[in-house]
Amino acid sequence: MERKLFIYDTTLRDGTQGEEISFSAEDKVKIAQRLDDFGVDYIEGGWPGSNPKDMEFFERMKKIKLRHAKLAAFGSTCRASSTPESDENVNQLLKAETPVVTIFGKSWDMHVKEALGTTSERNLEIIFETVKYLKDNGKEVIYDAEHFFDGYKSNPDYAASTIRAAEAAGADFIALCDTNGGSLPHEVEAITKTASQAVKVPLGIHAHNDSELAVANSLAAVRAGCVQVQGTVNGFGERCGNANLCSVIPNLQLKMKFQIMPQKKLKTLTELSRYVSEVANLQPRKNLPYVGQSAFAHKGGVHVSAVMKSACTYEHIEPELVGNTRRVLVSDLSGKSNVYYKASELGINVSGNQDQVSSIVNELKSLENEGYVFEDADASLQILMRRNIGKVEMPFELDALRIIIEKKANAGVTHTEAVIKLRVGDKIEHTAAEGNGPVNALDNALRKALTQFYPQLAETKLSDYKVRVVDGSEGTSAKVRVLIETSDEDSNWNTVGVSENIIEASWKALVDSIVFKLMKDNDNHKLINKHLELVK
């Protein structure tokens, strides 16, 4: 399409209003630079004067030259009882020294009366006066018409008069806001078309997700003529969040054929999504469209069989277009197609051996019935597959294991020690180690016993440990599933163990993590010629 669209990112302002979202000034600087490199057109940095962190961000950004994006400071119209010249919040916007200033004003007559406590006429005056004051000071001004769609449904003539006031004052863009997130796409499209007839200023859309429609409403507004789309990375934002730019952008470019950015930049979308989640210290949501880990994951055997023949049978785009990857999961829903695909992905040759594949499928189904889940435990899955084709050998045998937990009355700490005796070839190693808990002590003792035989184990560390009750109705006697993430200098891998005993479940996952490390490092060498009976 010929029309140029502008992407306006408000992750650093509106996004931070979401629960559990908090960025330091340094975080905001880093994210701003990544957004600029990605190719958004506007970056809304925060509200100067509302808090010291936002002022620090704008001060630091004065020394950083953005290559593509324009930086915007955000605020509101002046108070009804003052003028823009005397309003401290308005003047803080100028002190931020950004090329763009975005201000919001009231579009809904109910808000004018109840929230501002002023008259409809005075509200029009402060919109005009504030926009004009900022324009007179050389700023590009974006006017956010707050609650525009609700205001229009309540009093269409007054809502239209508010955006005409912003236009008369010289606003460069007017963004129509679905602030409460309650509008439907057909309403947004119809009202946006009417608004575009009321003013000649380019329109934008700012949608919230309270009805799970922020992305749909943004696309509907573009269909109706909007040329600026506001949103946040991963849909971060107040209440249910804002329009998710990680969905909006590929929908606009790949489905609606707008040229938002070069294709090579779009391929970094998944990386951007995960980077922002990491900086926010949040686990990336797996089920996010386009960029989530599950967005192109296939579990059902019928689906996998079809995808192996033609990916478009169950994928609406190629995952590589947004920097994501296809994943095939194995579970109790798996068929032979899943195993063939996953084995190929893991570099395991099972072609031409139907019995081996059937054996793998049967064991998977049996273990999943016991509570195992291999979707996030590729290392354990690879061991299972290799064991079924006779390609895994046990690097050690356990003779005995004892864990001692001692808690004395009035003592501030609990003492934990693991004692382990195991065989490596014809040698016996008997050792002990302490830890800050039974699993940590067990991990320390196992590594201590094996490192002299396998020095590469010194490179590894347990980087994450999760426990999930498989069947809570059994109470304290329920099975638990332990998922362990282990890492070395160049990779990380996940293993799983299940048992009614949390130590036994942890042991199984720990053993798998060590076996996988040795298997990974010694793919071209034989280990000790004993099969993995220990982890069956």
Query: Which of 124-128, 311-315, 344-348 is the least confident region?
Result: 344-348
pLDDT > 90 in the chain, percent: 68
pLDDT-derived band at 196 (thresholds 50, 70, 90) equals: very high
Mean pLDDT within 30-45 = 97
Give me the residue label for tokens 């951007």: 272
- The residue assigned the tokens 């001060």 is 59
Mean confidence (pLDDT) of the chain: 90
Domain residue limits, the chain: 6-261, 297-388, 396-453
What is the CA 15 to chain-centroid distance, rounded?
Answer: 13
CA torsion angle for 16, 21, 23, 28 (degrees, to 10)? -50
- HSE-CB for 90 with a 13 A CA cutoff: 24
pLDDT higher at 402 or 345: 402
pLDDT of residue 532: 40
Which pLDDT score, from 0 to 100, does residue 533 have?
40
In 336-349, which positions are buried (b, 16+ CB within 10 angstroms) versus exposed (e)? bbbbbbbbeeeebe
pLDDT at res. 393:
77
Phi/psi of residue 465, each to 5°? -145, 120
Q: Nearest 10 degrees: CA dihedral of 393, 463, 294, 221?
A: -160
Residue 415 pLDDT exceeds 70 = yes
Lowest mean pLDDT among 67-71, 467-471, 513-517: 467-471
Average pLDDT of 373-396?
83
Amino acid letter for position 186: H
User: Is 60 exceeded by the pLDDT of residue 366?
Assistant: yes
pLDDT of residue 454 exceeding 70: yes
- 228-232, 295-299, 342-346: least confident range: 342-346
Joined together, the tokens standing for residue 436 give 């800050």
Contact present, 535 and 377 (Cβ < 8 Å): no
Reported as a single tens digit per residue, the pLDDT across 275-293 is 999 899 888 899 999 999 8
Residue listed under structure tokens 């990544």: 34
Contact 108, 154 (CB under 8 A): yes
Residue 432 has pLDDT above 50, yes or no: yes
| 321's tokens | 């277009």
pLDDT-based confidence at residue 343 (cuts at 50, 70, 90): confident
Q: What is the mean pLDDT of residues 432-460?
A: 91
Average pLDDT over residues 76-90: 96
Residue with token string 């849909």? 235
Average pLDDT over residues 172-191: 98
Per-residue H/E/C for 56-67: HHHHHHCCCCCC
pLDDT given at position 329:
67
Backbone angles phi, psi at 277, to 5 degrees: -65, -40
User: Of all residues in the chain, what percent are helix, strand and coil, respectively (each to 5)?
Assistant: 45, 20, 35
Closest CA to 228 of 522, 509, 5, 496: 5
Q: Which among 411, 383, 405, 330 is positioned nearest to 510, based on CA atoms?
A: 383
pLDDT at 406: 87
Q: Is the dihedral of CA 252, 253, 257, 260 positive or negative?
A: positive
Tell me which of 342 and 244 has the higher pLDDT.
Answer: 244
Cα–Cα distance measured from residue 22 to residue 236, given in angstroms and rounded to the nearest whole number: 11
* pLDDT exceeds 70 at position 58: yes
Which distant-in-sequence residues (6+ apart) come within 8 Å of 244 by Cβ?
Answer: 209, 214, 215, 231, 232, 233, 234, 235, 288, 289
> Residue 528 pLDDT more than 50?
no
Residue 536 has pLDDT above 50, yes or no: no
Say what the pLDDT of residue 525 is: 43
Q: According to the model, what pLDDT value does residue 529 have?
A: 39
Tell me the residue type at 169.
A
Domain 396-453: CATH class, spelled out: alpha beta
User: How sure is the predictor about 389, in pLDDT bands with cuts at 50, 70 and 90?
Assistant: confident
CB burial class (10 A; 0-12, 13-18, 19+) of residue 11? Answer: buried
Q: Which of 27-41, 59-73, 122-136, 335-349 has the lowest mean pLDDT?
A: 335-349
Q: What is the pLDDT of residue 352?
A: 65
As a whole-number percent, the residues of the chain with pLDDT over 70 amount to: 93
Is the pLDDT reported for residue 142 higher than 70?
A: yes
What superfamily in CATH does domain 6-261 come from?
Answer: Aldolase class I (3.20.20.70)
Which pLDDT band, with edges at 50, 70 and 90, does 474 fall under?
low
